[in-house]
Amino acid sequence: MKTKGLLIGVFTLFVLFVFEMVYLESQNSYKESKRLFVSLCTLPDLSISNEAHFVRHRSLSDTFSLFSNSPTLTEFFPSTFIYNYSPVQKNRISRIEIEK
Amino acid sequence: MKNKFNFLLLEFAVESIFRRGSKNIFIYFVFTLLIFLLSAVLFISNSIKSELDTTLEVLPEITVQRLQAGRQINMPVSRVDELLGIEGVVKVVPRVWGYYYFSKAGVNYSVIGLDSFDSQYKKLYEKLVEKFDFDSLSEKSAMLVGEGVEKSLKENYYNGYFNFVKQDGDFLKMEIAGVFKGDTRLESNDVILMPKDKVLEIFGMDEDECTDVTLSVANPVEIPSIAQKIRLMYPDCRVITKEDLSVGYQNIFDYKGGMFLALFVISAFTFFMIIYDKSSGLSSEEKKEIGVLKAVGWTIDDILKEKFYEAFILSFVSFFSAVVFAVFYVYFLNAPLLRDIFIGYSTLKPEFDLPFVFDFQTVAIIFLLTIPVYIAATIIPSWRVASLDADEVMR
């Protein structure tokens, strides 16, 4: 009896899994427009972070842009960078708390 | 006959799982949670990587950037003709692009200049852009923006236009002619496309300058030799091939996924240690059970088989439910919280859908990392007890 219950449970999981796979596979249709967009603008990388230049197109940024170009990051040579806070957006230091 | 699968033994294993219900339910939940976390992170990393790989295919083969004192500087457009002279190069495009920092929102927009706003490209843009007014694009000062750009401008009361601050402090008003469709959000979220001359104006560049140059090469085998030729022609240039980009991606995601894997290894081993500890000090009841089984004529082989079934059923059900939940969490709910490991902290976060990729290799690795260890951690202590004499165990 319990084995039956367990089997039904596993079977339900399997059905759920197959449903997920089939549904997601059918949703995966907009690759073409992405390719079209990238071939148009020809820039690599994804827009998942925009806080600094070298992060957005990091595969194109050069070694020292970390220290030179960034508007929100202050250069601080040996330990790469410290975060600056935006004077307009928020009146607190972003993310990294500075210990007093 | 001897090798026939014994269903009664399986039945006994299931009964025995339910008999120690509360302990096994606890193991089930913890084990499921662990595998769920690991597979969710690996799924996210796989999706983003596959997204990068699809876009990588259509990128130009070589990018040439001019460096001075370790920094990238503009390149004279005159070099384009010389680069076209290299055999095997099909197309050379001088690009004008850069970052525009909008301090009120605290974000960088990627501003890209294009020549191709003629009517022949109308169809192409129609596929990519919604709320579209193509004619205004070629006639007036207008631009195409990503969804994130439009949103962040609206939040700062720029409805349908934006005033760029030029190098000399003047303003340049640009109307928004269209917004890129949500499909391309991962690529277009922070992008502003506009005619090339406007970008030159905003960035204060000369007309005979470009940011960098891209080359298309017909035969992929020739890419390394062409890259070498360019390096010799222009010693001040950095030549990036498509392969360099793909290596870069690999590094980023190996780093992020690997960092998580390292954390996971610690928690997983703690879990296995608890399991091992718990089962190596098998409770007296469990020991007694093994003793009784031996006394009624079960062999060590039978007992180990039964323990194996028990451990396999429990771990497999946990594994399977964890994978089902992880797929649901990552691809249906778009991985809230965990996704933030992979994206920046900026305000221009795209609300993208992770593209669905089911990588059997990843699932197989998770399976092999977790289930055999769990089975071993339960079978070995049982074997120790089972190999003793029955009366010694029961005493």
Same domain, yes or no: A57 and A99:
yes
Look over chain A and give the mean of its residue pLDDT values, rounded to a whole number.
64
Same domain, yes or no: A58 and A18:
no
Same domain, yes or no: B169 and B306:
no
Same domain, yes or no: B91 and B194:
yes
pLDDT at B104 over 60: yes
Same domain, yes or no: B270 and B345:
yes
Count CB neighbours of B316 within 10 A: 15
A15 touches chain B (CB under 8 A): no
What integer pLDDT is reported at residue A94 of this predicted model? 40
Using the beta-carbon criterion (under 8 Å), do A9 and B344 form an inter-chain contact? Answer: no
Task: Please identify among residues 114-133 of chain B the ones whose CB lies closer than 8 Å to any CB of chain A.
Answer: 114, 116, 124, 127-128
Using the beta-carbon criterion (under 8 Å), do A53 and B56 form an inter-chain contact? Answer: no
pLDDT at B2 over 70: no
State the total domains in chain A: 2
Mean pLDDT of B65-91: 88
B298 touches chain A (CB under 8 A): no
Q: What percent of chain B has pLDDT over 70?
A: 89
Same domain, yes or no: A36 and A65:
no
pLDDT at B202 over 80: yes
Q: List pLDDT tens digits, range B10-57.
A: 888 888 888 888 888 988 998 899 889 888 888 888 888 888 888 888
Using the beta-carbon criterion (under 8 Å), do B345 and A94 form an inter-chain contact? Answer: yes
pLDDT at B131 over 50: yes
Residue B159 lies in a domain: yes
Same domain, yes or no: A57 and A37:
no
What integer pLDDT is reported at residue A95 of this predicted model? 44
Max distance between CA atoms of chain B, in angstroms, equals 96
**Alpha helix (H) ranges present in chain B?**
7-19, 21-57, 79-84, 122-128, 134-139, 147-155, 185-188, 196-203, 223-233, 242-280, 284-295, 300-327, 360-386, 390-394
- A38 to chain B: which residues are within 8 Å by CB? 55, 58-59, 187
pLDDT classification of A98: cutoffs 50, 70, 90 = very low
Residue-range definition of the domain harbouring residue A19 = 1-42
Same domain, yes or no: B19 and B94:
no
Same domain, yes or no: A62 and A23:
no
What integer pLDDT is reported at residue B281 of this predicted model? 61
Same domain, yes or no: A58 and A35:
no
Q: Which residue is closest to A95 within chain B, CA to CA?
A: B345
Same domain, yes or no: B110 and B192:
yes
Same domain, yes or no: A36 and A60:
no
Mean pLDDT of A31-40: 81
What integer pLDDT is reported at residue A80 of this predicted model? 37
Residue-range definition of the domain harbouring residue B130 = 75-210
Same domain, yes or no: A69 and A100:
yes
What integer pLDDT is reported at residue A82 of this predicted model? 41
- A1 to chain B: which residues are within 8 Å by CB? none
Look over chain B and give the mean of its residue pLDDT values, rounded to a whole number.
83
Q: B233 in the Ramachandran plot: left (φ > 0), alpha (ψ -120 to 50) or beta?
A: alpha
**Best of A37, A89, A92 to mutate (most B CBs within 10 Å, chain B):** A37
Same domain, yes or no: B34 and B164:
no
State the total domains in chain B: 2
Residue B148 lies in a domain: yes
Q: Which residues have C-beta within 8 Å of that of residue B286, sequence separation ≥ 6?
A: B385
A37 touches chain B (CB under 8 A): yes
Contact status, residue B304 vs residue B290, Cβ threshold 8 Å: no
What integer pLDDT is reported at residue A67 of this predicted model? 41
Same domain, yes or no: B132 and B92:
yes
Residue B138 lies in a domain: yes
Same domain, yes or no: A99 and A54:
yes
Residue B107 lies in a domain: yes
Q: List pLDDT tens digits, range B297-341.
A: 888 888 888 889 988 999 999 999 999 999 999 988 888 888 777
Same domain, yes or no: B79 and B42:
no
pLDDT at B253 over 80: no
DSSP string across B314-369:
HHHHHHHHHHHHHHIIIIIS--TTGGGGTS-SSS----PPPPP---HHHHHHHHHH
- A14 to chain B: which residues are within 8 Å by CB? 320
Same domain, yes or no: A60 and A27:
no
B107 touches chain A (CB under 8 A): yes
Distance CA B337, CA B334 (A): 9
Count CB neighbours of B269 within 10 A: 12
- B104 to chain A: which residues are within 8 Å by CB? 88-89
CA distance A76 to chain B (A): 17
Same domain, yes or no: B83 and B120:
yes
What integer pLDDT is reported at residue B287 of this predicted model? 79
Same domain, yes or no: A65 and A90:
yes
Same domain, yes or no: A54 and A99:
yes
Model-level ipTM above the cut of 0.90: no
